[in-house]
Structure formats: C-alpha cells, structure tokens
Amino acid sequence: MFSKAQKVAAALFLLAPLIAQAATLPAPALANSPGQSIHFVKGNTKDLDLMAAAGVKVVRADFKWDAIESQKGVYNWAPYDELVNNLTARGMRPYFILDYSNALYEEVRILTQNGVPYAAYIDAPNSPSSVAGFSAWAKAAALRYKSKNVIWEIWNEPNMAAFWKPTPNVVDYTTLTTATCNAIHSVAPNAVVVGGAIAGLDWNYLYAYLGAGVLDCIDAVSVHAYRWDVPETVDAEFQYLQWVIGQLTPASRSTPIPLISGEWGYPTFTNAYPLDLQAAYAVRMQLNNLLNNVPISIWYDWKNNGTDASNKEHNFGIVTATLGLKPAYYALKTLSQQLGSYKLVNRVATANSQDYILIFANAAGKKKAVAWTTGANYTTSILPDMTSNNVRATVVSMLGTSSVAQIGAAGLPITLSFTPQYIDLSLLP
C-alpha cells in the first residue's frame, strides 16, 4: 500500500506547472442555469430536441474512463464527439462527469459467496499509476474539447460506496481532484473544473475535502441536495456551505468559488410525489437556487429509467421512458419562456415567510413577478406598493395557461398555492 505522502508526491510530480486560473461560471440566471442529467451518449436526437425546446441550457452526462481508454494511452473519442456536437448545435452546454475507474490501472476485485463468484468491481483510483492515468486522460479530453465550453466534474458522489470502491476515502479523492484539476488547467486554463459532487450535505466529508487545498484549483463545488422535503428547506445549508467555501478559499483567488446544484430531483413512483408536485418542485428548485446565488441547477433525471411505477429509480424523469411529456416538462418549458431573458432582482418581503414573491427584470427594464407559497393555498393581494389606475396584468400558470387580473390600490388579487405563477408587470407605470 502507498502512504498518503507517496500518493500526493507522485501525483504532484506528474503535474504540469500550475497556471493562474481565469475559469468562471456565468452569473445566476435562467438564461444559463436549467440543467438535466442524461444516461446516453450516441443518438437520442429527439430527446435533445425536446430538451432544447424546454429551455435546457446544461446537460450532465457520464464521461466514462474505461469506455474511452480500453488500451493504455489510446482514446476513442467518437461517441463523445457526437454528443458534444449534438449538444452545442442545440445551444446546450456539456457538463461531463469524469468517471469511473479503469481495469488497466486498478485491480479488479471478485466477490464470492460460498466460493462462487457473483460480482466484480474495480478499485477507485488510489495508486500513483492510476491517478496519473486518470489525470492524463482528463488532460487529453480537456485539450480535445477546449473550444466546446465543457464543464468538467471530477467523479460522482465519491462519498458513497456505490461509486467510490471499495469504500469512500476522502484523502484519495482529494489526491485525484488535485492531480486532475491541475492537469486540465495546464492545457485549458479557462475550463471550468468542478469538485465535490457530494451525495447529500455530508459535512464531515466536505470539511475534510474542502480543507485539504482543492480550492487552490477547482472552479466550483457541487453537491446533490436530495431531500423528501420542499426545495426551499435547502436555504440554510446552502448559505452555510457557501460561507465555509468562502472561509477556505485562498486569498490568491480573485473571485468567489460558486456552489453548484449538480443533481437533485423528485421521483413520481407509487405513493411518492404526484405529477403536479414534481412539476412544482422542478420549477421551485430552479428559482430558489437562483435566490441562493447558485449559477447552475441540474435536475435528475431527464427521462424515466424504466416503466415500473413502484420503482423509485424508474420515475425521476420529466418525460417517460417513451418520451411522453410529464407536467414537469411543461413546467420547465413555461419557466424558460417566461423568465429566460430575465434576471432575478429580489425577493419581496412579506408578512408570511412561507410566501415567495420574486421580482425579475429584463435588459429593457420590464419586470415580472413569480409567486408561490410553501404553506396552504390561500387568496390574498400581493405587491400593494405597485398601485396603479386599474392596470391589467397577465398571469401565467405553472403549465402555461394565461389569465388577466386587475391591479388595484390594494395590489394584485391572487390565490397563492404550491404551484408558481408568473405575473407580467410591464404595463405598470
């Protein structure tokens, strides 16, 4: 076995000289943010057309080491060339997860029961040779796609034994992050490199990882904030994690290191989330993350992974396994149509902390509001300060149905519910 010091020394020996970083992500805005996770590489052009039509801007996919390098130092890029070209042609940004291990560099473990083999796995990169092989492959990928604006994420959920085998090891993941990030930036200094991709808010793992020097190099930190509760319950966790990142960011970094919501969804399997609630949460997650200054929010999943209504993993999609459009698809499309050219201005203070009224403005100064509540549905008047001489405002439902409301001295009468509604304020003086 290699010691921690040996692993780090070997990784650093293989690095090109560190280049000052200029990689940045765009400011939080729906023009850049809505993302989807996919599980395909080649073809599926109908999927991609539907995604682009819904306003998806970022597509997260596995970028598999062993699928690309099946002979040492020889890379087959063809499937990913196709995916990159298909995404960029539709105005969507590739977000590739550099994963997983490779039997060319790490040992294959055979699991047996009563002497009979029943499964096998490959150790996650933990030797100097596999760290070097992984970072060399990532460097070659970054060079090949240097002009394609790819976001590179190092691994997926390394704090889970399902993905970092045989068991999570934050020291080994930190070593891999440092080697890979510097290798990428040595050939593509403006590439965005994301670290973390942590399942949940695993604080002990995050403290150890972020405190080990990775913020010298990575350009963003990603977490997967799954929960059974409403999306808005993430606020305190995100704000605290952003504070921690800020405290640990080296003084040499000229800009703050942002937090990315790299994977998060709500499944519609039996007795879980109804279709309309999944749709509402898909929109509210995007909006609330913007409120928390999160520049990219990626929904898991684009498409159902199967047809078993009782299987959680089969029902995360916003479309069915056969591309039937679920309400969440229409909700995302309406969100993009309503606010795609607008930026968040502020959240309006109200007497009820469960009410969310966000004001957005476009480049011409026209404003829209989006409103919902995390509490029970109720009828009220909102925006009383926007008094007018009985100006009409268009109100658009979460799924795109329009109606007209009259704004009077008391404000806009509206029934607040769990589903966001968009209010066009452009006719107000």
Task: Report, as an integer, the average pLDDT of 262-271.
Answer: 96
pTM for the predicted model, two decimal places = 0.92
- The Cα–Cα gap between 21 and 25 comes to 12
Provide mean pLDDT across the span 44-61: 98
Cα 54 from Cα 314, distance rounded (Å): 21
- Is residue 2 predicted with pLDDT exceeding 70? no
Which pLDDT band, with edges at 50, 70 and 90, does 174 fall under? very high
Lowest mean pLDDT among 23-27, 42-46, 183-187, 350-354: 23-27
Q: Where in the chain do CATH 2.60.40.1180 domains reside?
A: 345-424
Angstrom distance (rounded) from CA 397 to CA 400? 5
Homologous superfamily in CATH for domain 345-424 = Golgi alpha-mannosidase II (2.60.40.1180)
DSSP per-residue letters across 289-351: HHHTT-S-EEES-SB-S-S-TT-GGG---SB-TT-PBPHHHHHHHHHHHHHTT-EEEEEPP-S
pLDDT tens string 306-338: 999 999 999 999 999 999 999 999 999 999 999
C-alpha to C-alpha distance for 105 and 176, rounded to whole angstroms: 14
Average pLDDT, the chain: 92
- Label residue 27 by pLDDT band (50, 70, 90): confident
Give the pLDDT band of residue 429 (cuts 50, 70, 90).
low
List, in order, residues 6 or more apart from 204 with CB less than 8 Å away. Answer: none
Fold type of domain 4-340: TIM Barrel (3.20.20)
For residue 301, pLDDT over 50 is answered with yes
Q: What is the mean pLDDT of residues 410-418?
A: 91
Residue 34 above 70 pLDDT?
yes
Of 293, 318, 290, residue with least CA distance to 304: 318
Position 342 scores a pLDDT of: 96
Q: What angle do CA 220, 226, 229 make, to 5 degrees?
A: 130
The residue type found at 216 is D
Q: How buried is residue 290: exposed, middle or buried, by Cβ count under 10 Å (0-12/13-18/19+)?
A: buried
pLDDT at position 8 over 80: no
Average pLDDT on 212-238 reads 97
Phi, psi of 332 (to 5 degrees): -65, -40
Question: What is the band of 157 on the pLDDT scale with cuts at 50, 70, 90?
Answer: very high
407: amino acid identity, one letter: I
Flag whether pLDDT at 18 surpasses 70: no
Question: Encoding tokens for residue 7?
Answer: 């692993």
Per-residue pLDDT, 212: 96
pLDDT of residue 119: 81
Model confidence pLDDT, tens digit, residues 354-413:
999 999 999 999 999 999 999 999 999 888 876 666 788 899 999 999 999 888 778 889
Q: CATH 3.20.20.80 in the chain, residues?
A: 4-340
Whether residue 201 contacts residue 225, with contact meaning beta carbons closer than 8 Å, is answered with yes
For residue 140, pLDDT beyond 60: yes
pLDDT at site 12: 38
% residues pLDDT > 90 (the chain): 81
Q: Which amino acid is at 32?
A: N
Does the pLDDT of residue 127 top 50, yes or no? yes
Residue 251: other Cβ atoms inside 10 A: 5
Q: Which tokens sit at 118?
A: 């029943």
Integer Cα distance of 262 and 152 in angstroms:
12
